[in-house]
Each structure stands twice: as structure tokens, then as C-alpha cells.
Amino acid sequence: MAAPPLLTLKDVALTFGGTPLIESAELTIAPGERACLVGRNGSGKSTLMKIAAGLVEPDRGERFLQPGTTIRYLAQEPDLSAFDTVLDFVESGLAPGDDHYRARYLVESLGLTGEENPKSLSGGESRRAALAQTLAPEPDILLLDEPTNHLDLPVIEWLEGELGRTRAALVLISHDRRFLSGLSRSTIWLDRGVTRRIDQGFSAFEAWRDNFFEEEERDRHKLERKIADEEHWLRYGVTARRKRNVRRLGNLHALRKERREDRRPVGTATMTSVEAEASGTLVVEAKGISKTYGERAIVQDLSIRVTRGDRLGIVGANGAGKTTLVNLLTGKLSPDSGSVRLGTNLSMMLLDQARATLEPTMTVTDVLTGGRGDSIMVGGHSRHVIGYLKDFLFTPEQARTPVSVLSGGERNRLLIARALAQPSNLLVLDEPTNDLDLETLDLLQEMLDEYSGTLILVSHDRDFLDRVVGSVLVSEGEGRWTEYAGGYSDMLTQRGRGIEARTVPGRERPQRDDAGSDKPKAAEPSRKKLGFKEQHELKTLPARMSELEAAMERLQGVLDDPTLYARDPARFEKASAMLAAAQAELATAEDRWLALEILRES
């Protein structure tokens, strides 16, 4: 006899004004469940997860949790403000009798020491701390909302193994196809406020979804044809008994009502980039370039040639120097030795990982137009902002919506829309897939397939790399980089192993002992002390980083003007170059501060 479900949601509904966000949702979580929750950005996946976790009360429906069942929920935006250190935050989730060694094992496996001040963490570090807190107690049910966001490849693959070994039931929301395919055994699809379930993993979902849409379209066509027949009878039919006519007219009204109330799938986005004139055949040629910061080598003796139309992926652990390498290849940063030659007629568009911060009170329209009317310049031509937003799956009603109410995926889509309005023949995309739903990822892939220019892509999404790039440049550690033909899977075959985590002094990843315990092995303490110059650097770097962030904000404000490129190309290029240089200097300063802080603590 099968064990009863641990958690059940029945006929759940929730409305935030207007169209219901969730109209009729069902969710059953059995012991050992391995389910993924999928749906478009804004469809209500995170909200349904919060209802399952007991954090949001639905307008209607039942939630039943078996007595004694423990649930842990990973939110997209964790709050660590009430804690002095990361380890304090992680251990706050432990119950009496839970293993405190497991908490430290998880913290260090996720690239943290546990002694960090939560107020100084980046968004990605906060998310890793929250992931450690969620996993530490080993609950009965794990509800994980985008657990792979901001994680690098070594940690993603480590997390897959950790979740594969857990006895807890899993419900996952993720845009990472490979992650979902490897862990899920059932799929819950939230579409237009209603959940549908198949007892197969994500790998079977997309074909099933497409068949569902085809059947739905056939049914809609039959309804339209039946309405047309009834309308024809109403106009031209032979007069019959009055009661029969009244009844048939009532049937026609019912059919029309059914058509009005039919909630069709959200339209398809049309993602297109504005291409500039073709560049020369040579785009980038690097010969023997090297770059070091202090004693740390970022790039050593790298030679690579990128020609027009190439699709180059760059992969490596966090901190391996991917952004610095991109800045070297694009001429934003000068190498310590060697040379970089850029091709002729290059027009570059950069979408960096940090993303410009969107002002929460700004409307969607203002983000694109800078608050200057209802038109945006796209490829030198003026377009009404509503039409341009429709290309990126925004409704006309959302045009005046403040950014604060958008989901993470919708905000990312808005930033991509703003970036792609600029003409380019060289796309440099640093983690463009964060927070995008699967359909939008497909559309981004199609846009990149049709893009005739050159692409340099930094990504931790293994499936996306396989679909998009033609070669992969991999960090081998200690500043060494090797290029492999093909996508990520091809690289694994040629290299014989995946991407290793970058080891930082004092932050080596813990290993399980032979008994399977989670006790971290103690790192060998460093004997080196900070000199006077290093102490001065450590003291002054935070102020310099704040200055750079302020400068970047000012420069981004200049570039937010949608008319700037057409009105003053020279100023646009100068501001773009200054912004890229500030970003590179900030990345360097952050790396240096981190290295000095680790040295000081050890």
C-alpha cells in the first residue's frame, strides 16, 4: 500500500486583482517525490510554491500537511539582515539534535567560509547561504525556487549530487534544463492559472506540452466553426417554431461566452537583435596574453583567434577570471604581456552579469525610453514602445507597470529588450539566461542562431552552451585556458572531466570522510601576514569600490537615453568604454579585497 502524501493542495486559487493568477491548482507531494514545477515567467510558480510552504494564504482551496512533516523553502531573495555571520544564519535553521557539522560542510561546499558578514554579501553569495540553510536540517520536503541561480558549474554539479542523495521529497523551479532532467521524475505545469501533471520527468515535458497545445488549437478551431454555423443559421435559416429558435439562439450566446472566457496561451515573443554593418573577417586576435593581480594569475600565455560568425563560450568556476578574460579580448583591459588586436568596423553590445539596477518605481516604458515619450530608437528607426514590448512578451497593460511588481524573469527580459535595441555585430553576453523561463530561453537561442555577427558567451547553463556555441574556452586553473571544439558536452568528452571549483586559500572545499560524515577537513593555516601596503589596500579598497559603483550608475544613466546613439555616437562610444573600464576595475578591486580579507582572517 502506497504511503499517504505528505502535502496536498486542492483547488487552490489566488487573485492579485484583474485576471486570477492561480485559478485552480492541485499539488500532491508524496514521500521521496522528485517533481519540477514549470511555467512561464509571471505564471505564478513562485506564488504556488509559497502557498505550498504555508507562507501565502490562498483565496480559495485546501492545504493539508501530514502532522510532523517538516518543510524547508528556498526563496529567490533571502533576508540575512538579522544575523552577524553566514554560519549563524545557516545554523539558525537547525533543530535540536541536527548535525552542526553538516551546516559547516554545506557552507564551505557552496564557496563560503561561514564568517562573512551578511551585510557585505553579494546577491549570489546570499543565495548560496540560503541554500545551505535550507539543506542543513534534512527536512521531509524541500521546495527550491531557482536553486542554481548565480551558482557556477562546479557547485551546480555538486548540488545535483547532493539532491540526488537526499531522502527528502523535492519540488524544483529552475530554468536549467539539464538540472531538471537529471533530478525530476514528475512534472507539474502551471499554465493560465491551472496545474496539469505528468508522471514523467522534465525530459518528456516539452513534447507533451506541444501536443497539448496542438489539441487545444484543434478544439478552438472546432468551436469557431460551430459558432460560424450558428451565426449563419441565425441570419439565413428557415423560420421554425419559436421555442426552438429561442433555444438555439441561447446556445449561440453560450458558445460566444465560452470563446470569450477561453484563456489562450500567452503570445510568442519575437526576440530580434539590431545588427550593424558586418565586421571584418578578423574580430579578435590575442597572442601570448597574460594578466596577473598580485600573485594571482588570471590569464597566462593565451593565444586565440576569433573570426566573424564564431560562437565562443567561456566557462569556469566563479572567480576563475571569466569577466577579466572577456575584458581583455574586447580591448576594455590591457594585458600585462602579449597583444590583442581587434578587427575593423566592430560594433559591440555588452550585457554584463551584474546588470544595471532597475529603479523599482520606474515604469516598464520609462526603462526603455528614459521617460522621454512613448517611442524607442531601434536600429536607427523610431518604434512605439508598446509594439516593441510585445516582441518581448509584455502585454500593453504592463507598459505602465512599475518595475517593482515584475518577476525576476520579466526584469531580465526587460533588460535584454533594452540592450538588443542597440545595433551590434559583436554580442558579448555574460550570464544572459538568469531568471528566464524555458520558452524565453528557446527564443533567445533562436535569435542567436539567426544572428550573423560574432558571439562571446559566458554561461553556467550547460544545455544552453550545447545549443548555442561552436567552441568552449575552459579555465584549467592558475591562469591556463584551453579551447575545445563543440559545446559543453563535447568539452566533457574531450577533457574527460568537468569544471573544478577554484580553490582559495583558507576556503578549500570540505570532503566527506570514509564514514560518510559531513565534517570538513581543516585547511592548513597560512603563516603569511599582511604587510603595511596590503593593510592600507584593505582599508581603502571599499571606498574605491563605492566610487566605482557610483561612477557606473552615472554612466548607465547616460546610456539609458534611447536617443543618445543616434544623436551623439561619439559620446555613446565614450560612455560605453568608460562603463566597461569601470566594471573591469571594480571586478579587479573586489577580487583583490577578497584575497586580502581571506589572508587577514587566516
Tell me the backbone φ, ψ of residue 593, rounded to 5 degrees.
-60, -40
Longest dimension (CA), the chain: 103
Smallest Cα–Cα separation from 140: which of 172, 171, 102, 169? 169
Would you say 126 and 64 are in contact if contact means Cβ atoms under 8 Å apart? no
| 3-state SS class at 233 | helix
The SS3 assignment for 211 reads helix
Q: How would you label 426-456 residue by residue, b for 16+ Cβ within 10 Å and e otherwise?
A: bbbbbbbbbbbbbbbbbbbbebbeebebbbb
As a whole number of angstroms, the distance between CA 112 and CA 132 comes to: 10
Q: Which residues contact 34 (CB under 8 A, 6 or more apart)?
A: 169, 170, 183, 184, 185, 186, 201
Whether 319 has a binding-site annotation, put simply, is yes
Grid cell at residue 552: 557606473
Q: Is 318 annotated as a binding residue?
A: yes
Whether 40 has a binding-site annotation, put simply, is: yes
Q: Is 343 annotated as a binding residue?
A: no
Query: E strand or H helix at 163, and its extent?
Result: helix 153-165
Beta bridge mates, 219: none
322 annotated among ligand-binding-site residues: yes
The residues with which 471 forms a beta bridge, in sequence order, are: 312, 485
Instruction: Name the residue type at position 234.
Output: L
**Helices (DSSP H) in 62-152: which residue ranges?**
86-91, 100-109, 123-135
Q: Is 44 one of the annotated binding-site residues?
A: yes
Contacts of 220 (CB under 8 A, 6+ apart): 262, 264
Q: How many residues does the chain have?
A: 602
Is residue 45 a known part of a binding site? yes
Cα-based distances in Å from 314 to 33, 223, 356, 370:
35, 50, 22, 33
Instruction: Please tell me the distance from the alpha carbon of residue 495 to that of residue 500, in angstroms, as a whole number.
Output: 12
Other beta carbons within 10 angstroms of residue 310's beta carbon come to: 16
370 is an annotated ligand-binding site residue: no
The amino acid present at 441, given as its one-letter code, is L
Give percent helix, percent strand, percent coil of the chain, each to the nearest 5: 40, 20, 35
Contact present, 140 and 111 (Cβ < 8 Å): no
End-to-end CA distance of the chain: 56
Q: Where are the alpha helices (DSSP H) in 400-559?
A: 408-420, 438-450, 462-468, 488-495, 532-559
Instruction: Say if CB 76 and CB 408 are below 8 A apart.
Output: yes
Cβ proximity of 284 and 308 under 8 Å: no
- The span from the CA of 331 to the CA of 344, in Å, is 13
> 215, exposed or middle or buried, with CB in 10 Å at 0-12, 13-18, 19+?
exposed
Q: Is 43 annotated as a binding residue?
A: yes
Are 88 and 158 in contact, with CB atoms under 8 Å apart? Answer: no
- In angstroms, the CA 583 to CA 570 distance is 20
The Cα–Cα gap between 179 and 158 comes to 11
39 among annotated binding-site residues: yes
Grid cell 499539488 in the structure block, residue = 27
Binding residues for ATP are 39-46, 316-323
Binding residues are 39-46, 316-323
